[in-house]
Amino acid sequence: MGVAMRFIVLLLLLSLAPWQLAMAAEPAPAAAALDPENTLYLDLNTGRVVIRMRPDLAPKTVERIKHLVRGGFYDGMAFHRVIDGFMAQTGDPKGDGSGGTGRPLSSEFTSTPQVRGAVSMGLKPGKRNSADSQWFIVLSDNNQSSLNRKYTMWAEVVSGMEFVDMIKKGDMRRDGAVAEPDTIVRLQVAADADAPASGNGLARADAAATARNFSAGEFRCSAFARSSGGAQPTLARLWTHGYLAGYAKAKGALTFAGTPDDVRMNQGLDAACQQHPHALLLAVASQELSKTAVELPPSTPAFNPTSTTCADFTAARKGGSTAQADFIELWTFAFLQGYKNVGQPDLEIPYDARARILAAFTNACVKNAAMPYIELVTLGATRVKLQK
Per residue in 23-71, pLDDT tens? Answer: 333 333 344 689 999 999 999 999 999 999 999 999 999 999 999 999 9
Please give the pLDDT value at position 388. Answer: 61
* Residues 125-133, mean pLDDT to the nearest whole number: 91
R_g over Cα of the chain: 26
> Residues 166, 220: one domain?
no
Query: Distance (Å, rounded) from C-alpha 42 to C-alpha 190?
Result: 10
Please give the pLDDT value at position 194. Answer: 67
> Residues 248, 187: one domain?
no
> Residues 111, 244: one domain?
no
Supply the range of the domain harboring residue 54.
Answer: 36-193
Last residue of a domain, one of 172, 193, 214: 193
pLDDT, tens digit (0-9, with 9 covering 90-100), for 347-378: 999 999 999 999 999 999 999 999 999 999 99
Say whether pLDDT at 7 is over 80: no
Per the rule left: phi > 0, alpha: psi between -120 and 50, beta: everything else, 49 is beta
> Residues 162, 60: one domain?
yes
Please enumerate in sequence order all residues whose Cβ is within 8 A of that of 226, keeping only pairs 6 or more positions apart, or say none: 72, 188, 192, 233
CATH number at 44 reads 2.40.100.10
Last residue of a domain, one of 164, 193, 222: 193
Please give the pLDDT value at position 379. Answer: 95
Alpha helices in 27-149 (DSSP H): 59-70, 144-147
**260 domain residue, yes or no:** yes
Say whether pLDDT at 13 is over 60: no
Please give the pLDDT value at position 9. Answer: 36
Say whether pLDDT at 106 is over 50: yes
Please give the pLDDT value at position 199. Answer: 59
Instruction: Identify the CA nearest to 132 among candidates 102, 107, 98, 110.
Output: 102
**6 domain residue, yes or no:** no
Per the prediction, the chain carries an average pLDDT of: 87
> Residues 185, 284: one domain?
no
Last residue of a domain, one of 148, 175, 193: 193
Query: Distance (Å, rounded) from C-alpha 129 to C-alpha 14?
Result: 59
Q: Which residue has the higher pLDDT, 385 or 366?
A: 366
Residues in the chain: 388
Which of 17-21, 199-203, 205-209, 314-318 is the least confident region? 17-21
Please give the pLDDT value at position 115. Answer: 96
**10 domain residue, yes or no:** no
Please give the pLDDT value at position 81. Answer: 97
Tell me if 370 sits within 8 A of 309, measured CB to CB.
yes
Query: Distance (Å, rounded) from C-alpha 375 to C-alpha 353?
Result: 22
> Residues 186, 207: one domain?
no
Please give the pLDDT value at position 173. Answer: 92
> Residues 77, 160: one domain?
yes
**291 domain residue, yes or no:** yes
Provide the domain count of the chain: 2
Per the rule left: phi > 0, alpha: psi between -120 and 50, beta: everything else, 252 is left
pLDDT, tens digit (0-9, with 9 covering 90-100), for 269-315: 999 999 999 999 999 999 999 988 778 888 888 899 989 999 999 99
Q: In angstroms, what CA-CA distances link 363 with 311, 314, 360, 366, 373?
A: 11, 9, 5, 5, 13
> Residues 101, 234: one domain?
no
Please give the pLDDT value at position 198. Answer: 55
Please give the pLDDT value at position 195. Answer: 64
> Residues 227, 371: one domain?
yes
**Strands 153-159 and 118-121, bridge-based pairing:** antiparallel
**337 domain residue, yes or no:** yes
Tell me if 133 sits within 8 A of 170, measured CB to CB.
no
> Residues 164, 248: one domain?
no
Query: Distance (Å, rounded) from C-alpha 126 to C-alpha 111?
Result: 19
- Give me the DSSP letters along 8-21: HHHHHHHHHHHHHH
Please give the pLDDT value at position 385. Answer: 81
Please give the pLDDT value at position 27. Answer: 36
Please give the pLDDT value at position 5. Answer: 39
**87 domain residue, yes or no:** yes
**388 domain residue, yes or no:** no
**3 domain residue, yes or no:** no
> Residues 188, 208: one domain?
no
> Residues 159, 63: one domain?
yes
